[in-house]
Amino acid sequence: MTEEWPKIRSRRVTKVSPWMDIIAREVEFTPSAPLETYHAVGQADYLAIVARTPDGRIPIVRQYRPAIEAFSWELPAGLVDPGEQPIDSARRELMEETGYPARVIHPLGMAAACTGRLSNRVYSFFVETGEREAAFKPEPGLSVTLMTPAELLRMIRAGEFVQQLHLGALMLAELHSFLKLSR
């Protein structure tokens, strides 16, 4: 039986915050090769939601992102809470961020966020919503806008909708025939 290489020889996890760890891995690529250290960011699994309201529009949210020091237009999204199934997180996040209840949820798939630096997974969903909750009030600092597919496509082409993981979720929704951005 042949041994497989490379091998992880050690792993150290340093907690930076409730949302992030730094993971250091010592990797041996071939027998007796010197160990090489690789770092990754560890965080909870993430999800992105492409939703369609009963009138055919897509809810997107605008919020300030300190990581890029700017406001960003994005799909409803968030982290999967410990012990929570991604599909339940999608239902919760959609309601919290947009006020729309999930009527039907279609999983679009799971992918790696960034294979070079991040250790988490990204789950994408297409959601057919019900009508917006009448008493919904957006979270402080977050605004919700409804876009037609054509309007969202114009934002993407203009460089106004730039969250790469969300562009991937939109592509998956189109590949699964739930959405057509271009007409």
Domains and CATH numbers, the chain: 7-42 (no CATH), 46-175 (3.90.79.10)
- What is the per-residue pLDDT for 183? 61
- Per-residue DSSP letters for the chain? -PPPS-EEEEEEEEEEETTEEEEEEEEE-STTPPPEEEEEEE---EEEEEEE-TTS-EEEEEEEETTTTEEEEE-SEEEPPTT--HHHHHHHHHHHHH-PPEEEEEEEEEEES-TTTB--EEEEEEEEE-PPPTT--PPTTEEEEEE-HHHHHHHHHTTS---HHHHHHHHHHHHTTS--S--
The pLDDT tens digits for 36-60 are 999 999 999 999 999 999 999 999 9
Please report, rounded to a whole number, the percentage of residues in the chain having pLDDT higher than 90.
Answer: 93
Distance CA(51)–CA(169), nearest Å, equals: 11
Residue 7 β-bridge partners: 28
The pLDDT tens digits for 122-170 are 999 999 999 999 999 988 999 999 999 999 999 999 999 999 999 999 9
Contact in structure between 24 and 41 (CB atoms under 8 Å): no
- What is the per-residue pLDDT for 130? 97
Q: pTM for the full model?
A: 0.92
